Amino acid sequence: MSARNRELFALIPVALLVSAGFAAVFAVRSEEIGTLSLTYGAYFLAVCVATHFFLRIALKNADPYLFPLCAVLAAVGLVMLYRIEESLAVEQATVFLVGLAAFAATITFLRDYHLLERYRYLIALGSIGLLLAPRLPGIGSTVNGAYLAVDLGPLSFQTAELAKIGVVIFLASYLNETRELLSVAARRIMGLTIPPLKHFGPLLVVWGAAMLMLVFIRDLGSSLMFFGAFLSLVYVATNRLSYVLVGLAMFLAGAAFFASSVGHVQDRVDIWTNTFESNPCDLSKAELADGQDCGVGQVRQALFTEAEGGLFGQGIGSTLLKLPGPFAPDCGDDKFPECGSILPAPHTDFIFAVVVADLGIFGACGLIAIYALIGLRGFKTAVMAPDGFSKLLATGLTAVFCLQAFVIIGGVVKLIPLTGVTLPFIS
């Protein structure tokens, strides 16, 4: 069977997954299931098959597994958001269609992506500008004290999601040009390999500016993703483990400094280390609706919600996420995702907790396995790429994607401090 045919047949079980998921939600909400779930599954399959035929024509040698794997994540996201609030699923479906259109436009109009190398400094400056945009008056907006998004009338989006792609393009382009100089011209001091500053300097300036902007807008999750992408690209470009060790030492030193001097960073660490204390952090200006300070109530409730799932889960739509009847606070229709919610922000930061509660540990492990498979295919693409820039670009984009999934899942399960990033293709 050809690669493109494998991709086509892999989309069929994804559509069945969508139909089964919606049917499960309908079964919980009413006794009549009807054919609506099959209709949703047919719509989803039609859109994915149309994208498949576009790939069959435009990219005959594309990886046959990446698109079906991403479609599985999108299917899980649609079902989970629908079980939380129907209007959220409608918004997600709209974004899914817009994303596929942008995907097709990128393939059509950027056939030779090596052109990006010529404009790497403009791309870097534009990425730093995007990181700064949420701080601009009039268009910037805050979420729980972090400057994450810009509001342009009906359009609202997190600029860091676009900026991380631009920074990866710059890093891949610059390292592809200077990789030999960084490896050959390096000096050894006290057993460590030190790169020449004149070649490593511009890299540090752009990366450092991006990191400062992220601290300035209080986007800790994106900071970790940028740093991880930086280290992975440096290692792939130079094959110098000492660079990674020096980078990790810098990260630990910087983390210790920010944790002790920057209030919101310290609060995140305190919540992580002392989750079940009565008041693990002092952030009186950020009182939440449930009476907890600085988000500790969110982390606690996420852990309780996950514990309810057990090994096999309670079933899609069966987990109680909102307080019923008179127990629900009167918070207005404009805040419907949180209104009466037992688990705050179940559609964004804590959607993985909903997955664990509904599908259990086995379902959550299956979801993590899908992210791991996407990472595997992405790194395989990097290995098979014909030139240095392509290898580094594929490596950087895959590393950022995998790190983003690790950061949010690790935060929700209390493996690392919680940071507010989205779960790719789902939240």
Domain encompassing residue 47: 1-111
pTM score of the predicted model: 0.86
In this predicted structure, which of 29-33, 44-48, 121-125, 387-391 has the lowest mean pLDDT? 29-33
Q: Same domain, yes or no, for 299 and 182?
A: no
The last residue of a domain, from among 95, 111, 127: 111
141-194 pLDDT, tens digit each: 666 556 777 777 667 778 888 888 998 999 899 888 887 776 665 566 665 556
Q: Same domain, yes or no, for 412 and 298?
A: yes
215-268 pLDDT, tens digit each: 666 667 777 787 888 888 888 888 877 777 777 777 777 777 776 766 667 777
The single-letter code of the amino acid at 68 is P
The residue count of the chain comes to 427
Q: Same domain, yes or no, for 85 and 178?
A: no
Q: Same domain, yes or no, for 144 and 215?
A: yes
285-317 pLDDT, tens digit each: 444 444 444 567 778 888 888 888 888 888 887
Q: Which residue has the tokens 């940028």?
A: 226
The DSSP code sequence of 11-33 is HHHHHHHHHHHHHHHHHHH-S--
Is the model more confident about 364 or about 301?
364
Q: Same domain, yes or no, for 117 and 214?
A: yes
- The DSSP letter of residue 322 is B
Q: Same domain, yes or no, for 75 and 121?
A: no
Evaluate the CA torsion angle 223, 226, 228, 231 in order and state its sign.
negative
d(CA 271, CA 280): 6
d(CA 114, CA 112): 5
The last residue of a domain, from among 244, 261, 278: 261
Q: Same domain, yes or no, for 62 and 187?
A: no
Q: Same domain, yes or no, for 282 and 368?
A: yes
Q: What are the percentages of helix, strand and coil residues in the chain, rounded to 5? A: 70, 5, 25
The last residue of a domain, from among 83, 111, 139: 111
Q: Same domain, yes or no, for 416 and 323?
A: yes
Q: Same domain, yes or no, for 123 and 198?
A: yes
- The DSSP letter of residue 335 is G
Determine the Cα angle at 88 with ends 372 and 413, to 5°. 40
Q: Which residue has the tokens 């900071």?
A: 223
Q: Same domain, yes or no, for 249 and 213?
A: yes
**What 3-state DSSP class applies to 290?**
coil
Q: Same domain, yes or no, for 169 and 244?
A: yes
The total number of structural domains that make up the chain: 3
- Kindly list the distances between the CA atom of residue 387 and the CA atoms of 34, 110, 229, in Å, as whole numbers in the listed order: 53, 17, 19
Q: What are the residues whose beta carbons fall under 8 Å from the beta carbon of 331, sequence distance 6 or more?
A: 289, 338, 339, 340
